[in-house]
Structure 1
Amino acid sequence: MPVTAISSPPLRVRHYLPGGRENGGGIGRLVGYILDAQQGGDQHSVIDTRGPRWSPLPSGYMLSKAVLSLMRDQAMARDTVHHIHVAGRGSTARKLVLTAAARAVGARHVLHLHDYDYRADFLSRPPQQQAAVRQMFYGADRVIVLGRRDRDTLSDLLDLDPARISVLYNCVPDPGPRCAAGRADAPLHLIFLGQLGPRKGTPDLLDALATPGMASRDWTATLAGDGPVEAFRARAAELGLAARVAMPGWLSEPDVRRLCAAADILVLPSHAEGFAMAVLEGMAQGLAVVTTAVGAHDEILAHGQSCIFVPVGDPAALAGALARLVDDAPERARLGAAARRLFLERLEIGGYVRDLAALHRGLLPAKSLKTGAA
């Protein structure tokens, strides 16, 4: 008997972000993982709205190219979903322009908020800019946030309908089971991933590593990220850490995976976050994670179960937590195993891509059904 089979055509999604996949920081890394994991013939691509920070091309030039690309898609491929990634500061200024163009031509678009404190950014703006930001979010077909805190910011502060907001926690690919063979005699290896600076807690971490309790233990550390690397190398030298702490700068995705695979503890003592990709990388690798209960971290992780939370801006407490983990291999293994189980259950990229595809398809008009026989 003939039956009607529903067939969903492949999605065509444009991601707009500063710096593109390679130079877009944590947002770029997340989008890169989405591109690598896209399924069923879906076509995700990236448009850079700013260029690398060191690029000689002005950001206005890159933004103009992005606007023209969006308008061209709307003229030639109207079923494209435009996925616009936004944070505070200059990112919001650029996305005000891009979303105004999207509204003007009727392009279906999603706003995906990545920020460590968008409430403060919004409140720092004059009333006219606040009105424009509200219009930007009101005009989106859907808004994605990293956690409940950001959802509450948009619904309470910007009066955005909560029904139009989706919470999608960041995700990373599964690197596979961890192999620790041959590492028993090596010094314990601590890693930090992220832009070096006060917001990520880099000064707190260096001060913690320099405490007598940590200095007396056998460990090495790698602090991988961009920012004022030379200044922090100099600070490490002042603290007597130069021989034990490496700062290689920003690492590629494969280099991050190799670094995590050779590590024991992931430490990120951030003062503010959305949902740190570094924490996810550590969880995926089964590392013991030491971080702070900022952003959406405590919406997923639990102190003493899947991580160790330390107070923000407290090098002494951080040093104590690290020293206890350095001394206690079974506790490191327990925390790492629990973190990896949680990652596989809730934070692996496959489920994220399926949820994202469902959200994108929900924005498109109904397609004609294809029929067949069974």
Structure 2
Amino acid sequence: MRAELNSISGPETVHGTAIPAGVDDRSTRAGALSVRHYVAGGREHGGGIGRMAGYIVDSFGKDGIVHVVTDTRGPRWFPLTSLPRLAFAILLMTRDRVVSPRRVHHIHVAGRGSTVRKRILTAAARRLGCRHLVHLHDYDYAADFNARSAADQAAVLPMFKKADHVVALGRRDHQTLTTVLGVDQRRVSVLPNCVPDPGGPRLRDNDETRIVFLGRLSERKGVPELLRALSHPTMMQLRWRAVLAGDGPVDEYRRQARELGIADRVEMPGWLGPDETRALCARADILTLPSHAEGLAMAVVEGLAHGLAIVTTRVGAHEEVITDGSSGLFVPPGDVDALASALARLVSEPETRRALSMQARAAYLAQFSMASYRRSLERIYETVTNGTR
């Protein structure tokens, strides 16, 4: 059983480097400000949230605030391993309260099962007196909350209302927090996702236009419509190749691509790490994400950073970061013809593609640089550590 618990807890990561669980950086013992992130799946299996947490950790570096990432679930939800992970996270939080009392606990939460786990974790933080902030990542938290029973809603509210601070990805989530969940707006900050600067855009001299999709392959992300749009007659007569990078039922979507006659032009490599994602985007021309629901998709911010021509939908905070016709193109969710038309236009009009690329890169530099994000986050941490309860 002891060996099993060791495999369940696994290593923590400080500045992206694995360290044994229970070993702290010396600066945390000396009383310096430090941060523990709680992410379901950690950096490696936490999807877009895990990737964002990883970017935060790497950004601060060894000369900045010490960051530790704790996995509260494991690669997938499975009671025999996930529940011990959650219990272990609470044990670490309890130890922190004694060993590193100034540590800020940065709790990343979404809807559904994530809310259940983080409700327990935030209750522990309140009981222990830990300074903590809740970072909301969800494609429609208002709908998730409204679908819950009255008793469940009452149990969820303290997670947000009693946190020292709450972070939202965009204006829609800010409104959800302050109106639906009743959080004091003075304790809510809007902080859109960001990515490290890849140094783009690069001059791309592709024989065929390269299209990328980043994210979990699913209906919510619009993958069925994307495959049908790629097989549309307007696209089949053009020169392009596509890479759909992400986890999910990859084999099923490969089967659909074969049935649609585009398997030789569409690659699905599965989930890619940050380095592989950067390399893929560096070779690409177009990023498409025809989602039905998002908060603020990391894929869209990646596309802006790399200066890609973006085709996406008006969901979540996308309209807050993209100007239609200038830094990207919007299509209605689920509209295969509109998606095919937008993609075909960008494939066949390199000048339009380049113009969108330049504006996308400019939008990234103006709003989504990692340096700007870090400054904003440091101010939030200062608010959390110096605020009164």
Report the TM range for the smaller structure's normalisation: over 0.9
Is the 2:36–2:70 contact (alpha carbons within 8 Å) kept by the matching residues of 1? yes
Q: Is residue 211 of structure 2 the alignment partner of residue 190 of structure 1?
A: yes
Q: Deviation of residue 155 (structure 1)?
A: 1.2
Q: How far apart, CA to CA, are the structure 2 residues paired with 1:158 and 1:317?
A: 36
Q: How far apart, CA to CA, are the structure 2 residues paired with 1:348 and 1:179?
A: 18
Aligned to 1:32: 54
Q: Is residue 274 of structure 2 the alignment partner of residue 287 of structure 1?
A: no
Aligned to 1:303: 324
Aligned with 1:103 (options 94, 112, 126)? 126
Is the 1:11–1:361 contact (alpha carbons within 8 Å) kept by the matching residues of 2? no
Aligned with 1:216 (options 237, 249, 261)? 237
Is the 1:112–1:145 contact (alpha carbons within 8 Å) kept by the matching residues of 2? yes
Aligned to 1:249: 270
Alignment of 1:60-99 (within 5 A): 60-99=83-122
Q: How far apart, CA to CA, are the structure 1 residues paired with 2:160 and 2:43?
A: 24
Q: Is residue 378 of structure 2 the alignment partner of residue 344 of structure 1?
A: no
Alignment of 1:233-244 (within 5 A): 233-244=254-265
Amino acid at match of 2:152: Q
Q: Deviation of residue 54 (structure 1)?
A: 7.5
Q: How far apart, CA to CA, are the structure 1 residues paired with 2:183 and 2:386?
A: 23
Aligned to 1:141: 164
Query: Cα deviations across residues 267-294 of structure 1 (Å, max 9, x unaligned)?
Result: 0000000000001111111100000010
Amino acid at match of 1:90: G
Q: If the length of structure 1 is used for normalisation, what is the TM-score?
A: 0.93
Q: How far apart, CA to CA, are the structure 2 residues paired with 1:55 and 1:34?
A: 27
Aligned to 2:149: 126
Q: How far apart, CA to CA, are the structure 2 residues paired with 1:166 and 1:54?
A: 30
Q: How far apart, CA to CA, are the structure 1 residues paired with 2:168 and 2:77?
A: 29
SS class of match (1:190): strand
% identical equivalent positions: 54
Structure 2: any 5+ residue segments left out of the alignment? Answer: 1-30
Q: Deviation of residue 139 (structure 1)?
A: 1.3
Q: How far apart, CA to CA, are the structure 1 residues paired with 2:32 and 2:46?
A: 26
Aligned to 1:169: 192
SS class of match (1:66): helix
Q: Deviation of residue 41 (structure 1)?
A: 2.5
Moved over 4 A (4+): 54-57
Aligned with 2:377 (options 353, 356, 361)? 356
Q: Deviation of residue 136 (structure 1)?
A: 1.1
Amino acid at match of 1:317: A
Is the 1:50–1:62 contact (alpha carbons within 8 Å) kept by the matching residues of 2? yes
Amino acid at match of 2:43: R
Q: How far apart, CA to CA, are the structure 2 residues paired with 1:287 and 1:55?
A: 38
Aligned to 1:370: none
Q: Is residue 35 of structure 2 the alignment partner of residue 13 of structure 1?
A: yes
Q: If the length of structure 2 is used for normalisation, what is the TM-score?
A: 0.89
Give the CA RMSD over aligned residues: 1.4
Query: Cα deviations across residues 154-176 of structure 1 (Å, max 9, x unaligned)?
Result: 11111211121100000000001
Q: Deviation of residue 177 (structure 1)?
A: 3.0
Number of equivalent positions: 356
Query: Cα deviations across residues 253-311 of structure 1 (Å, max 9, x unaligned)?
Result: 10000000000000000000000000111111110000001000001211001100001
Q: Which has the higher helix share?
A: 2
Aligned to 1:114: 137
